[in-house]
Amino acid sequence: MHSHSDPIPSISVTEFAHRVAMGDAGLQLIDVREPDEVAIASLPNFKIYPLSQFAQWSAILPTTLQLDAETYVLCHHGMRSAQMCQWLRSQGFTNVTNIKGGIEAYATSVDGAIARY
């Protein structure tokens, strides 16, 4: 068992892209950016849980998602997603990874077609 004080694992955007390309339907993908940000740029198959709406989804999220699924969290630069990873772990999620650099890094390192903002 991990303790809550352990650092949250992180993955680079290139590693993440490889992980997704391996085609695993069991990945749990969470985007904590705001709807207007998601409208500008998003990645496929991410569930959107904006941090500003935390009060609306925080009570149901742990029962909606799988606690032991391989979970990756995305935001703009990787700061909000790190906060979300900490919270998910406090809720009993056991396999949470932060996507380093967020969608900004993904747009610059992986897919130049993704809009930057």
Catalytic (active-site) positions: 75
Distance CA 31, CA 46 (A): 6
CA-CA distance, 38 to 50, in Å (whole number)? 10
**Contact status, residue 106 vs residue 33, Cβ threshold 8 Å:** no
Report the relative pairing of strands 28-31 and 71-74 from DSSP bridges: parallel
Please give the sequence-ordered ranges of beta strands (E in DSSP) within 32-101, or none if there are none: 47-48, 71-74, 96-99
